[in-house]
């Protein structure tokens, strides 16, 4: 499995073009820097891609269906939202009008055998856009065990959003 070195990881000061691109599969030829990068297997990529595509249609019940019964969503600065019903309710309340875009995907296998996928991308709200990193953990049945969402913005940038 290819790994991205820490020097190649996405940092808070990187930005992405506003044009949405599909995720790449590992067998596609090299792309320009503006294209998303994917280093994950096809089955895992299908789940991650379904999460992003379904989110952008606003079908939050379908997103919740991708989670294991004990699955958890960890939004920035909030407590875990656990279970598909709670995740669907949370997204219906908090994510209306948002779109998300994947730009770089990297897969690892954890010591416990779960699949871990880091996705760097962007969230666009009706008022602003922000770079984000999602950390997905999937079980061997390709159910989402958890999604941790981290904003990749400087504190000063986040404080400007409050104004």
Number of domains in the chain: 1
DSSP assignment of 52-82: HHHHHHT-HHHHHTTEEEEEEEE-TTS--EE
Q: Give mean pLDDT in consecutive 10-residue pieces for the chain, a chain of 163 residues.
A: 38 36 39 51 94 97 97 96 98 96 91 92 92 96 97 72 57
Q: Is residue 147 part of a domain?
A: yes
pLDDT of residue 158: 64
Q: Is residue 3 part of a domain?
A: no
CATH number at residue 110: 3.10.450.50
Global confidence as pTM: 0.73
Element (H, E) at 8: none
Q: Is residue 59 part of a domain?
A: yes
Q: Is residue 67 part of a domain?
A: yes
Q: Is residue 157 part of a domain?
A: yes
pLDDT of residue 14: 38
pLDDT of residue 13: 37
Element (H, E) at 124: strand 115-124
Q: Where in the sequence is the domain holding 96, given as residue range(s)?
A: 35-162
Q: Is residue 83 part of a domain?
A: yes
């Amino acid at each position: 499995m290819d790994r991205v070195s820490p020097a190649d990881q996405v940092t808070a000061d990187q930005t992405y073009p506003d044009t949405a691109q599909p995720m790449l599969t590992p067998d596609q030829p090299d792309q320009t820097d503006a294209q998303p990068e994917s280093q994950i297997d096809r089955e895992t990529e299908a789940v991650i891609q379904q999460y992003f595509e379904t989110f952008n249609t606003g079908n939050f019940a379908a997103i919740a269906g991708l989670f294991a019964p004990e699955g958890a969503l960890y939004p920035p600065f909030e407590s875990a939202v656990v279970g598909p019903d709670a995740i669907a309710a949370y997204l219906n309340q908090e994510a209306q009008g948002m779109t998300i875009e994947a730009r770089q995907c990297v897969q690892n296998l954890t010591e416990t055998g779960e699949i871990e996928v880091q996705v760097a991308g962007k969230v666009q709200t009706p008022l602003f856009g922000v770079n984000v990193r999602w950390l997905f953990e999937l079980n061997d049945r390709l159910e989402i065990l958890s999604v941790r969402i981290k904003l990749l913005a400087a504190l000063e940038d986040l404080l400007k959003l409050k104004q």
